Amino acid sequence: MSKKRVLNGNQAAAIGAKLARVDVIPCFPITPNVDLIETLAKMIRDGEMKAKYVCPESEHAAMSICAGASAAGARAFTASGSQGIVFMEEVLWMVPGLRLPVVMCVCNRSIAFPGLIQSTHSDSLLQRDCGWIQFYCETPQEVLDTCVQSFKVAENEDVYLPAMFCQDAFSVTHTATPVDIPDQADIDAFLPPYKHRYVQLDPDVPQEILFGLEDEAETEYRYQMEQAMENAKKVIEDVDREYASALGRSYGGLIEKYRCEDAEVVLVTMGSLTGTARVSVDKMRDEGKPVGLLKLRVFRPFPTEEVRRALCKAKAVGFVDRNFSLGSAKGGIGCTEMARALYGMESRPYLLNFIAGLGGRDVTVQQFEYMTNKMFEACSKGRVEREVEWIQLRA
């Protein structure tokens, strides 16, 4: 029988890893994930969790241990953020190339300098092209549920790619809310033991992984990884439906639509900003304004077809980016991806980009209302005056 506790996002992630019966946990502490790995270590010490906890000398080593453990047949989990993600980048590319279903919790934090310890999505989005599935969580409850779902998706034979589930520093990692903790028996029925069909290191059968054996083999490898990413879309949807049937909670699979059916303008958010945006949408709906909200739960694989269907009736779309791509074609990473997704539509909505929430700065209901009114303004004028707007610049 499930039980309810008040947990922050770090604690929820740790309990999610416990429920998933993780075998090997190599973690190097970095704010804001310290509470997460302390919770895991305490559960192992107290006998609540059977797993091997490894103290590596760096984040690079942590991901290397994850790769070896996964290849040897163990369910591997780690957590990091910010400079930690940058430090492990070399191995982050190797893990999907070896088709290892490692799962990592990313506690989204700004990268120095000038970033400090608050939330920006730049660390995880920096790795958007290396082959990791990416989930973005709104609440501690979603963190726990997505942790379990991530293993189910990553270990699917049609996928075999690693997955990261991301939570915003402090606004989720350190913010406690009521969380329903599933019964272990229910998770065991949902998530079978890990067994990779193809890759498994065995000391009795020595193997060596060689590079460059065949000229131009990278083309085929990358194509196969891209096909696995495409396969992951259906798997994510199926896993979310199965989880809803077994545990009673669904997150829409790839995207979550809120009051979009008759919306003329739609806000698009990722992560913890969604909760405030939802309040803003309700407020403006009460005022008679046809506003909707699209929560992008999965950024990789990018849900292009699902986004197109959800936004086919919208006249304007406003993507709220908690990051910025310096020197790009203008805008945040999310909006740039959205532009590519919308480009193939016969009737495209206006697209506006709002940069907000960098460094953990709170985005208010009033600021979401301002963004929404800018979308209505573009519709009435028949043009977008400012394609990219930094909402929270101080005078």
Best CATH choice for the domain 3-247 from the list 3.30.230.70, 2.60.120.10, 3.40.50.970, 3.80.30.20:
3.40.50.970
Q: CA 260, CA 286: separation in Å to the nearest integer?
A: 15
- Among 304, 292, 291, smallest CA distance to 254 is for 304
pLDDT tens per residue across all 395 residues of the chain: 789 999 999 999 999 999 999 999 999 999 999 999 999 999 999 999 999 999 999 999 999 999 999 999 999 999 999 999 999 999 999 999 999 999 999 999 999 988 889 999 999 999 999 999 999 999 999 999 999 999 999 999 999 999 999 999 999 999 999 999 999 999 999 999 999 998 777 778 776 665 555 567 889 999 999 999 999 999 999 999 999 999 999 999 999 999 999 999 999 999 999 999 999 999 999 999 999 999 999 999 999 999 999 999 999 999 999 999 999 999 999 999 999 999 999 999 999 999 999 999 999 999 999 999 999 999 999 999 999 999 999 87
What is the phi-psi region of residue 158: left when phi exceeds 0, alpha when psi lies from -120 to 50, beta otherwise? Answer: alpha
Best CATH choice for the domain 255-390 from the list 3.40.50.920, 1.10.10.10, 3.90.700.10, 3.40.50.300:
3.40.50.920
Q: CA 376, CA 287: separation in Å to the nearest integer?
A: 14
Q: What are phi and psi of 217, to 5 degrees?
A: -70, -20
Fold: same for 3-247 and 255-390: yes
What is the phi-psi region of residue 222: left when phi exceeds 0, alpha when psi lies from -120 to 50, beta otherwise? Answer: alpha
Q: Where are the domains of the chain?
A: 3-247, 255-390
Beta bridge partners of 98: none
